[in-house]
Amino acid sequence: MLFADPKAPDALPILDLHRGHDGHVTFHAKDQEGTFRDLGAIPARELLTWFPSFVEELERDSYFSVNGYYRGHPYKKSTVNKGLPQAWRAKKGLRWLTAAFVDVDSDRLAGMTAGQAIGAAYDLQERGEIPPVSLYFRSGRGVWLFWFLKNGERNDGPTDGPVRAWPDKVSRWNRVQRKLLVKTARLGADANALDVSRVSRVPGSVNTAAPTPGTRVRYLIPAGDDGKPFVYTLAELETAVGLEPPRNPRVVGEVHRQLKEGHGRPGQVGSWVKLILSFQLLRSLREGFREGHREKACWYWGLLLQRCPTLDTDEDIPRCTPEEMEAEVRQLASECMSADGTQPAPLPEKDVLAALESLEVKRPLTLRPSNDRFSDDLDITPDEAEFIRANGGSPTIRAAARFRGQEPEPKRKVTRAEKAEARRDFIARLYARNGEVPTLRELAAIIEDEAPELRATQATLMKDLVALGIQNPRRKGRAEEAPRLPM
């Protein structure tokens, strides 16, 4: 196999990986002291346009995001090109899953050369243990293996584009990642390089840590009989690595999609919908529930799936039969991890049966577990609670009691006037920090990111600016410079 040997940073493999989705690709580099720096975020559709302006910064020890994010940083600008936003790899900003991958650290973990690791990977492929690799990176010390993902569903973008990062899809992606790690462990696959926010070296960049000085990252894109790279749906990749695709994969995916489109549901049914989505968001973050929470997680998942038929009368949301519910619970049980999260630790069969037996007790719709009980049972951290609230889960969910230190006092409802005062104080501090007035759209994005409890419409934000004596810089007839806040 002949690897391409670029003499400068090369965008071609990144283009093949991201395939022009509507999100952003982030870029980063290490300086001479080894400090990791964010360089910026480039829209995937404009990669060829903007990449040349980054080439000089990407020459040595540079990296790009494997998966795509729906935007760059809400207010920071790129340090390379002020026309672009700064990189922003927050998990809640994940939009596209472009590939499954493993980072094979063959020289350090398996005592193999990169060439031997590539040959061993090809042997695994020939024996049917792993599917054909879509892209190889050879960095001088090890090898990266990528398997390109395609959507395959018309309602989630182009069918040949990447997979939309809905919580249920991220959960399935995590299962595939762990399975590929097991399959390639003998080659020296790195167990710490499995997360969705992983970055990889830019092809054609110099790896200063390589044994041979000046070694550049080389790449190979194998092609199938049709002359195109190998691309897989999640279901195809699951089957290829020996996983059983979910029997009812659209249940929560459809709920999540409808919530994102603003189709809320009133009353008790809506609260169940929010709790189902909260569980899926937590599942995508945990990448496998750990010992101590496994049985509770299985019980909650079964209970929530039992409620799926009550969500709506629309045929778009499939009903979850008892058999499908049991299959989903067993699948979740098989994904569980050890207490330290380093080893697979499936829930024992007797505990799975105990959870299923408990679910046979009939419960009325009104007996929904409280958000606090849900948090305490699954030991939700403050960061996890924030992620759930910010991504459409239960808006009042909190961290588990042990993180709160004591039982909280009942939450007092904030008045509209108090919210307006807090929002204007936030805008004033933002103005003092940045020294400029953002546009209304940018201001709304900043508030959504930093203080979601203060979110408001652009019309309301315009009133806030007027109340603070700040002129909107987009307003017709504006002065060359927006006025300063009165001291």
Please tell me the predicted confidence (pLDDT) of residue 98: 96
Task: Report the distance separating Cα 407 and Cα 318, nearest Å.
Answer: 39
Return the biggest CA–CA distance within the chain.
73
Task: Report the distance separating Cα 76 and Cα 163, nearest Å.
Answer: 28
Task: Give the CA angle between residues 311, 313, 317 to the nearest 5°.
Answer: 65
Task: Give the CA angle between residues 454, 457, 462 to the nearest 5°.
Answer: 95
* Per-position DSSP letters for 202-264, written without gaps between them: PTT-B-TTSSSTTPBPEEE----TTSS--EE-HHHHHHHTTPPPPSSTHHHHHHHHHHHTT--
Please tell me the predicted confidence (pLDDT) of residue 230: 94
Scanning 267-321, the segments in alpha helix (DSSP H) are: 267-286, 294-306
Please tell me the predicted confidence (pLDDT) of residue 308: 61
Instruction: Specify the length of the chain in residues.
Output: 487
Tokens at 99, concatenated: 């590939």
Show pLDDT as tens, one digit a residue, over the chain (487 residues). 568 889 999 999 999 999 989 899 999 999 888 899 999 999 999 999 999 999 999 999 999 999 999 888 888 888 888 889 999 887 778 899 999 999 998 776 567 888 888 999 999 999 999 999 999 999 888 899 999 999 876 555 567 789 998 877 888 898 899 889 888 988 888 888 888 999 999 999 999 988 888 899 999 999 888 888 999 999 999 999 988 766 544 444 555 454 444 444 555 666 777 888 888 888 877 878 999 999 999 999 888 887 764 444 343 444 567 887 888 889 889 889 888 877 888 999 999 998 888 887 665 555 778 889 999 999 998 888 887 887 667 888 888 988 876 444 445 667 888 889 889 988 888 888 777 777 888 888 888 777 878 888 888 999 998 898 887 766 544 444 444 444 4
Tokens at 271, concatenated: 């609260």
pTM for this predicted structure: 0.61
Please tell me the predicted confidence (pLDDT) of residue 436: 77
Please tell me the predicted confidence (pLDDT) of residue 269: 64
